[in-house]
Amino acid sequence: MSTATPPRAPHRDAPTGHSRAQARAGTGLFDARQMLSSLPDAVRKLDPRVMVKSPVMFVVWIGSLLTTVFSVTDPGDWFGWTISAWLWLTVLFANLAEAVAEGRGKAQADTLRRARTDTVARRLDADRTREERVPGTALRVGDLVVCEAGDVIPGDGDVVEGVASVDESAITGESAPVIRESGGDRSAVTGGTKGLSDRILVKITARPGETFIDRMIGLVEGAARQKTPNEVALNILLASLTIVFLLACATLPPFAHYAGTRLTMVVLVALLVCLIPTTIGALLSAIGIAGMDRLVQRNVLAMSGRAVEAAGDVSTLLLDKTGTITLGNRQAAEFLPVRGATEAEVADAAQMSSLADETPEGRSIVVLAKERYGLRERHQGEAADAEWIAFTAQTRMSGVDVDGRRIRKGAAGAVIAWVEERGGTVAKDAARIAERVSTAGGTPLLVAVEDDRGARVLGVVHLKDVVKHGMRERFEELRRMGIRTVMITGDNPLTARAIAQEAGVDDFLAEATPEDKMGLIKREQAGGKLVAMTGDGTNDAPALAQADVGVAMNTGTSAAKEAGNMVDLDSDPTKLIDIVEIGKQLLITRGALTTFSIANDVAKYFAIIPALFASVYPGLDRLNIMHLSSPHSAILSAVVFNALIIIALVPLALRGVRYKPRSADRMLRRNLAVYGLGGLVAPFAGIKLIDLLVSLVPGL
């Protein structure tokens, strides 16, 4: 395998909460104020140019228009007027479902618009010697701009010089500042955010009007939402069913005429509307929009509905080890003495030699010695005559010279070389202990001392990459969902295997290079699987583009965000698991409401047809199990129920059907039992109740 790529540093600046999402969720999923505010949009959607995009509801729209025309020609026909009114309400309720779903993103879009201010940029010339102030709209790709504390960053770009604290609350909803610096995977900055400290040089990567915030506004408002392949296929199925029932209704007048009865156009239209799958046709768009909105509530921006849908069908998850499965910083787990030394001696020497080590690993050694062995926390200032040796990547050691002793702690090779240079000895069991730590997936650090007894190794510090709490349970849950998890790391195979076993992932890829990641994704896809992965660096961009669901971290580079089809604004790599669950919830909700809608149509068939023809064909009276008052009452009750059930199901379409990991056959059985049976029973009860009320109205 190719040369190992070192593990990336963890995202220490990722916000821990979802303030904006919690605030939005707290306003209520679906209330009267939200419905009233969306009503004007629902009325505007009655435009036939908008309605034609939904074949089923366009047929209902045409039927509403026809019944209205026939009612105008016969003003005294109150039945016709009532049917017309409820058909228009059916169309309006369908539009209202979509308008409410779209309206839930408008608040966030308004917040983003406020962040998209017209700023003045401090642009540098080609020689970086002269600075000029220009409007932010005049910036072009490749321009270099200076941003200091208090400046609003004028456009999307990458930090090419310096490091600064940046306020990104306009995007993430979190007030905690984040660090942006050049030369790493946390170099991307977004226009509209604000620098809080220091000075950075930003290279612009997006033209005005095409910035990240502009794309977010279009996406959360639904302006750029494209129908997914699954949604298109379902629309074709619904349109086909509509044509079948349209042809079936067209054959009824000749049969009625032959039997000596007459069916008016109003009755035929009402019958058609009740038999075609209006429920799912009305809610289909709202389900898709709500799926994307649920991601937005978790601070994940989906660049397309296709990505959300693909997340529901993912069968392989690729996850980085560092910062995703593990905490990212190796921590001291235990002190292992060699023969002739004690744990307390090793702990004392390790703590003293780590006081000059400002790395997270060094800090963890100081804390472990204090907590486990009762050693008080020391500070460099306590020993005025001490000479402190700070840890560097070149020496790979840290230590202190104090009270006639020299203490060192560091990588095994570096410490052994230091001991041998001073004519000391290395205990035979030191190498054995270090090898045992490495085999277990840990990192061994040797602790040595030089005093009046000479230079010698005291013991080994076991550094361990700590697996995040609950990860094994999460992976077990994914396994029940039928999803295979693969850990990607730059570590050696021994360390990778140990972490993989502890975390409970199904497989791992050690010493991974960008080419290795691409190769793994292509192999999985060649086997007919959909693959999801997270990434933040430029070296992740090819794999993010190749994956079916590529989630780029907002803290990452512009190349990574351009390559992925989702962006996690909180930069939390473990959120990939939540994204998969949301995608599955979207597919399950769509399937459940489709089952309910078709079952509804079957029940309405038994409500209307027997009532219409029982007087002509007495044998049909056996199917009139609801014993509705009259044919007109049966038709009107079915039409009223057809309209009301749409508005009743809007909260479920927006919230989504609750997802629980289970096998496909169990999910199918549950779907049929709950939504299939429910779709059959609900119309019988609802239509009968409405019929009892309608029968009390004179003249109907």
Annotated binding-site residue numbers for ATP: 357, 361, 391-398, 409
The token duo for 596 is 């309910």
Count CB atoms within 10 A of the CB of residue 52.
Answer: 12
C-alpha distance from residue 57 to each of 47, 283, 650, 651 (Å): 12, 10, 16, 19
Q: In the sheet where 194-195 sits, what is the strand order?
A: 178-181, 163-167, 194-195
What is the Cα–Cα distance from 478 to 507, expressed in whole angstroms? 13
Looking at residue 152, what DSSP letter applies? B
C-alpha distance from residue 684 to each of 595, 605, 620 (Å): 16, 11, 17
Contacts of 142 (CB under 8 A, 6+ apart): 203, 204
Angle, CA 637 vertex, CA 633 and CA 639 arms, to 5°: 120
Contact (CB, 8 A) for 572 and 306: no
Contact (CB, 8 A) for 189 and 159: yes
Beta bridge partners of 120: 135
Contacts of 83 (CB under 8 A, 6+ apart): 67, 71, 266, 269, 270, 635, 636, 639
Return the closest-CA partner of residue 437 out of 400, 407, 467, 412: 412
User: How far is the first Cα of the chain from the last one, in angstroms, to the nearest whole number?
Assistant: 81
Contact (CB, 8 A) for 291 and 587: no
Tokens 């997006």 — which residue?
206
Alpha helices in 207-317 (DSSP H): 212-220, 229-250, 252-258, 265-275, 278-297, 305-312
CA atoms within 13 A on the CB side of 320: 32
The sign of the dihedral angle between the CA atoms of 186, 189, 193, 199 is positive
Contact (CB, 8 A) for 321 and 304: no
Contact (CB, 8 A) for 490 and 459: no
Beta bridge partners of 145: 123, 202
Known catalytic residues are 320
Binding-site residue set for Mg(2+):
536, 540
Looking at residue 15, what DSSP letter applies? -
Contact (CB, 8 A) for 281 and 593: no
Torsion over CA of 473, 477, 483 and 484, rounded to 10 degrees? 20
